[in-house]
Amino acid sequence: MLILRSPREIERIRAAGKIAADTLTLLQQRALPGMTTKELDALAEEYIRSCDAVPACKGYYGFPASVCISVNETVVHGIPSDRVVLRDGDIVSFDLVVQKDGFMGDTAMTVGIGEIDDASAQLLRVTQESLAAGIAAALVGNHVGDIGHAVESYVRPYGYGVVEDYVGHGIGTEMHAEPEIPNYGTPGTGDVLEAGMVICIEPMINMGTKRVRTLRDGWSVVTRDKQRSAHFEHTLAITDDGPVILTERSC
């Protein structure tokens, strides 16, 4: 069932989304060489709880932390660890969901640690731009396939792998709701986008092959060829005035 949200409900998703976005900003500032991903997760959890909100990933299907932290060839669902120390030149994806007063916001970004090489910098830029291309296609009357097509065609000239095994989704009082929002698609196919839908668009883009596998920890999704991957995500409302991002970062 596709749920349409009232303007008041959308404002509650925005309140959760703002805390999630501010948490990403905090993580970006604190992600320095020598930090462990476990320390960053603890900082994020403390901040989220100080806002009277809940880190919704913690305990979701048994996920053991508040933030998914995925380094270099890890695509998504990395588990924060005191054995993972960030180093100059790494790229790190942070993905988190905040629940506030029953409503959720979900957002992700990939950042560089210290100086990163040009190829990694381009991967981050193109992935973020592909998210913007997907958002621009999230218009009333368009179809879900138009979003995926926009993401995929933005990325194609760079020869990167667009991950197909994980997708965006509807969100609201549940973290994952209908419809699924793949990062590939055929224009004019799939569900029609209506005002009041709230969705997450989240391209996961690999430097090399699109193929991924899950590590034996049961969570960490890594590229098959061990090349790097980036992930950007926003929660947005579809409105008659166009897409409205509910997880916008102020800086």
Which residues bind to ligand MF3, rule: CB under 6 A?
A: 57, 60-61, 63, 68, 77, 95, 97, 106, 200, 202, 233
> Can residue 198 be called a binding residue for Co ion (CB under 5 A)?
no
Write down the least CB distance from residue 50 to Co ion, Å. Answer: 21
Query: How far is the C-alpha of 87 from the C-alpha of 33, rounded, in Å?
Result: 5
Report which of 41, 57, 165, 39 is spatially closest to residue 105, judged by C-alpha positions.
57
Q: At what angle do helices 7-30 and 37-50 cross, to 10 degrees?
A: 140
Report which of 124, 241, 147 is spatially closest to residue 193, judged by C-alpha positions.
147
Tokens of 28: 């970006």
Write down the least CB distance from residue 151 to ligand MF3, Å. Answer: 15
Close Cβ partners of 116 (under 8 Å, ≥ 6 residues apart) = 89, 90, 91, 124
Tokens of 177: 């709701």
60 binds, among ligand MF3, Co ion, none (CB under 5 to 8 A by kind): ligand MF3
Write down the least CB distance from residue 114 to ligand MF3, Å. Answer: 26
Among 71, 200, 207, 245, binds Co ion (CB under 5 A): 200
Q: How many CA atoms lie within 13 A of 112 on its CB side?
A: 13
Q: Provide the mask over 142-181, with x wherever binding to Co ion is found by CB under 5 A and - wherever it is not.
A: ----------------------------------------
Query: How far is the C-alpha of 102 from the C-alpha of 53, rounded, in Å?
Result: 9
Query: How far is the C-alpha of 126 from the C-alpha of 161, rounded, in Å?
Result: 12
Pick between residue 41 and residue 202 the one whose CB is nearest to Co ion: 202
Among 45, 106, 146, 152, binds Co ion (CB under 5 A): 106
57 binds, among ligand MF3, Co ion, none (CB under 5 to 8 A by kind): ligand MF3
Among 95, 116, 149, 160, binds Co ion (CB under 5 A): 95
- Binding residues for Co ion, rule: CB under 5 A, are 95, 106, 108, 200, 202, 233
